[in-house]
Amino acid sequence: MKHFTFDHHWDAIKARLKQRYAQLTDDDLAFAEGKGEELFASIRQKVGASVEDLRALLGELHDEAAEKWRHVKTKAGEFADEAGAQTAAACDQAQESFCTMWESGEDFVRQHPRKSLVGALCVGLVAGLLLRR
């Protein structure tokens, strides 16, 4: 690795560096835009590593963080797919239940037209009285 780039994996790399080197603090690992070389030199001095060794370590930690990120994205995608499938199944089941209830209601009205008419009139009367208030 010729040059280390501080990117969106820096927080994960920082955590691993702090685990490996207890003498490093958050202040030691704070990245400021345009100050990457200074941060690299500061870390190298604190841990007592050569330029090549530190670049190799940072590259390894970067690859590890990138792999974990890919794994998280894959798992999130799988979770989203599963949630989508479960939602679709629940929607289909709800639609089927609604259709069954609708058909049962139609059958009841066909078999008991007088009861249905009286029931509808009563519901209308009660709704009218409630709306009047």
Which residue's entry shows tokens 């059958």?
A: 107
Distance CA 123, CA 119 (A): 6
- Domain residue ranges of the chain, discontinuous segments joined by +: 10-100
Please write the tens of the pLDDT for every residue from 65-79: 999 999 999 999 999
What is the tens place of the pLDDT at every residue in 94-115?
A: 999 999 999 999 999 999 999 9
Distance CA 32, CA 35 (A): 5
Residues 6+ apart with CB under 8 A from 65: 9, 12, 13, 16
